[in-house]
Structure 1
């Protein structure tokens, strides 16, 4: 949109200088006052519309151009800018109506492109295609528009060819590079997608240092760059969001979060829906309350990212807010068919049913599992028939993996129904039935290991599943979950393989010492949790003298080892000990009692800022802030010790 230089009205060179420098917010501040002083000022309105448009504030831009079309109906450009602004504001019916006001002096191609874009925004893809086909074949935008339509039809390879063809004609353009990256992402060719994303980011850093790319990640406090047209044209926001999505898919969660903080800084109210969605999703583990608020807010916006609806429902189920999930489904029935696949709807329906009718939920999961296993067998047969055709084989492997990724959550949801009842033998049977398809899947192997471990008499079998997981990351053993390492150590001890257990613990200790050397303030809990689980095992077997001593030593030094999770394991052992002492089932030596009291006093000292439990994010009845601390709970347990043992302070 060109800047219309209108001469009526007196403006200082300062305003034009601000616009030239991209300081649209400052220019709007001055122009708004000017417009108020001179009612119906054509110059002020024209410049205001231009500034609002470049700030991506399309609603205010449309308001300015609407007034200009009424004041000066003879100026055709104002009608075009009005229609463009309405399109930018996603007011598609109004934008289409505004295009009908354009006369023959406006470029026919320009009008057709705008109308096609409006139809595309309304998801009338056949209507958009009809309009695009009216464009001259040599128009370079024709391939871009056809590429967008092919992408919507799921023809990602063909769409990619169209975008590449356009780039060959038009030269490098960030938005085209982004479209190509998006096609590769949809084809799951992440390396190729990241290559194009890297180029977008490198050019952005080189050509637009004023956008402060990466400075937030580096801890530099920078002000918002705003939603300017320049920022939009760089495609940086889209590129960083896509990079974050790729890293998230690859389970590189730290890199996914970093991609979001690397993007040009904007204030929260300036964030686009996709960035807001990704921020909510990436930070769900650390800021779940904020995450749910952002998802709920997005659901009220038009438009919102298509995955918002499904993700909100899945997260409600993950946090066991089944009532809220059911309410959202009931209140947004019109979104169900548009945004949920049949599989996802059936899965969510079964998850919600778990709360009130577990047997019925299991039956529903079984139906879904039956459909998916049928698909898996079908793909396997097709794969066997085309094992000499590399392209076909690659496609069938990809199809198999996609179906398997849908099957695993169904299987785990079925298993959880019986896991919650501590019916581990039934859980094992459920996993055994899926052996045909899942025996190479990491999630399946890990959960089989857990269920074998929980049965007490199957430690040897559990080792067979835990060991490959640990060996896979043996050179970076802290990448393995602490509970996996702890369960493997216990399994070694229970099968008289104490040397293997000690060797594994030495390996963990060595890596923790290296991290402590590099970052002295970092808290690391792996070895602590391993020792806590071993201590818990001895307590469960009735050997409290050794078990409690192991628990106490595991939390030293307290400033580095005392956390919500480690306190949970420790207090379970102490409460079990107190229960048995109160029933006069065991007696403790005075020296051990004294050791326990000293331990609890240390926890009281170092636990002032450590939450005793992590409350559910949407919990209405919150614990008193003074009671949800390790300090408070350690005092209570210490008081119980004095009461049960008869000791005096």
Structure 2
């Protein structure tokens, strides 16, 4: 279907072809077909809506916002298009424009969603007190019945991000964990949890969440062609960057590299590192990692790591390190699939590092 043009599509099958391309994440091809079709019928609501969706998935947020602006002008009675326009402008980092459009929405149906968006904008602009006020309003239930109150996953994630930004990593971990419990597995939230654990120097749980992201991403997207294990995966050989970002695989590998680097396991860090930067954290930038030289771990840091792992070793005997699926053909040895076993391995690694530097 590569290079398919509108003239090659049989009558009555255009919509089915476009939806098939979108289903297969072939958004660029769908954009080509939809753009050509809209030149002939520029006021097609369905075509413009699908084009906006494809642009958004391709992270062409400004183009998506332009499409949603046209839709809101064509159908002012459908206020969701203004909301989508504001969200796309926010993703494009056009914060004043996103705020302006968001303030035009006065439909109570979208009140909590607009409040979330305004909180995200204030957070991105560095207005942490303003963002906190809006998030607390969401979590308190003041935003209406659809806000979810204290069990609202989006509100919990937003509060976790605020706590993380303020340096309260342990509290941020708690919010991200509650958000995962409320919404189920979400790659971005799981990555945020791993990142908060990393900054709190809790490397073992951070690695556990990273392994979960990698395993789920590979299992859910076998089309990536990176195999079915987390060892020896070369993310750089994969061309579908949209799927990689949706699954947070790139971020997971970079964070894994950063943890290995902090533990001075430089060879493992080099193997885990990808050549695509993570979303936000400067300290995880691959170029920074490549250009750093040897660092020295304070004795107190080593003692904290060893003490933490010893506690894990004591209380983790009956806690599985990896939740295996019931139908898996190859199962881990029961003695190895425990937090205790992994804690001993990490502690042995630390002792090896200490001995190596003596």
TM-score by length of 2: 0.69
Residue in 2 that maps onto 1:406: none
Confirm whether residue 63 of structure 1 aligns to residue 76 of structure 2: no
- Return closer, same or farther for 1:176/1:222 CA change in 2, 3 Å cut-off: closer
- Alignment match, 1:626: none
Matched, 1:169 2:182: yes
Number of equivalent positions: 285
Give SS of 1:75's match.
coil
What is the Cα deviation at residue 174 of structure 1? Answer: 2.3
Task: State whether residues 164 and 172 of structure 2, in contact with CA within 8 Å, keep that contact through their aligned partners in structure 1.
Answer: yes
Residue 126 of structure 1, CA deviation: 0.5
Number of the residue aligned with 1:244: 257
Please say which structure displays the higher CA radius of gyration.
Answer: 1
Q: How far is 1:277 from its partner?
A: 7.2
Distance in 2 (CA, whole Å) between partners of 1:101 and 1:173 is 31
Q: CA deviation at 1:32?
A: 1.5
Q: Which structure 1 segments of 5+ residues have no match?
A: 1-8, 286-314, 319-375, 384-392, 399-468, 474-479, 481-649
* Corresponding residue for residue 242 of structure 2: 227
Residue 76 of structure 1 contacts residue 106 of structure 1 at CA under 8 Å; is this kept in 2? no
Q: Secondary structure at the match of 1:106?
A: helix
Structure 1 pair 10/82, CA: closer, same or farther in 2 (3 Å)?
farther
Distance in 2, matches of 1:394 and 1:118, equals 37
Retained in 2: the 8 A contact 1:241–1:274? no
CA contact (8 A) 2:255 2:284 kept: no
Of 25, 37, 41, the residue aligned with 2:40 is 37
2:79 and 2:181 map into 1 onto residues whose CA distance is 33
Match of 1:281 among 264, 288, 291: 288
1:564-617 per-residue CA deviation (whole Å, 9 max, x = no partner) reads xxxxxxxxxxxxxxxxxxxxxxxxxxxxxxxxxxxxxxxxxxxxxxxxxxxxxx
Aligned to 1:178: 191
Distance 1:211 1:60 in 2: 27
1:30-429 maps to which residues of 2 (within 5 A)? 30-135=33-138, 136=141, 137-138=149-150, 139-213=152-226, 222=237, 224-228=239-243, 231-261=244-274, 278-284=285-291
Contact 1:178/1:197 (8 A) holds in 2: yes
Q: Which residue of structure 2 lines up, in the alignment, with residue 339 of structure 1? A: none
Q: CA deviation at 1:171?
A: 2.5
CA apart distance, 1:57: 1.9
Are the aligned partners of 1:253 and 1:282 in contact in 2 as well (CA < 8 Å)? no
Deviations 1:553-572 (A, max 9, x none): xxxxxxxxxxxxxxxxxxxx
The match for 2:21 is 18
Q: How much does 1:281 deviate?
A: 2.8
Q: Is the 8 A contact 1:65 1:81 kept in 2?
A: yes
Distance 1:203 1:189 in 2: 22
Q: Distance in 2 between matches of 1:165 and 1:219?
A: 32
Equivalents in 1 of 2:233, 2:73: separation in Å?
Answer: 50
- What secondary structure does 2:201 align onto? coil
The alpha-carbon distance between structure 1 residues 239 and 13, as it changes in their structure 2 partners (threshold 3 A), is same
Q: Deviations over 1:213-252 (max 9, x none)?
A: 4799667995510325xx4442222212211211222222
Structure 1 CA distance for aligned equivalents of residues 115 and 245 of structure 2: 23
Larger CA deviation: 80-89 vs 142-151: 142-151
Answer whether contact 1:147 1:158 (CA < 8 A) is retained.
yes
* 8 Å Cα contact 2:254-2:286 kept in structure 1: no
Structure 1's 101 and 119: CA in aligned 2 closer, same or farther, altered over 3 A?
A: same
Give the distance between the partners of 1:223 and 1:143, measured in 2 at CA: 33
Distance 1:213 1:90, change over 3 A: farther
Any conservation in 1 of the 2:135–2:155 contact (CA below 8 Å)?
A: yes
**CA RMSD for the aligned pairs?**
3.7
Tell me how far apart the structure 2 counterparts of residues 143 and 203 of structure 1 sit (CA, whole Å): 23
What per-residue deviation string (whole Å, max 9, x for no partner) do you get for residues 444-503 of structure 1?
A: xxxxxxxxxxxxxxxxxxxxxxxxx9x945xxxxxx9xxxxxxxxxxxxxxxxxxxxxxx
If asked which structure has higher relative contact order (CA below 8 Å, sep 6+), I would say 2
The structural deviation recorded for 1:116 is 0.7
Q: After TM superposition, give the deviation of residue 41 of structure 1 in Å.
A: 3.5
Task: State the Cα deviation string for residues 518-565 of structure 1 (Å, max 9, x = none).
Answer: xxxxxxxxxxxxxxxxxxxxxxxxxxxxxxxxxxxxxxxxxxxxxxxx
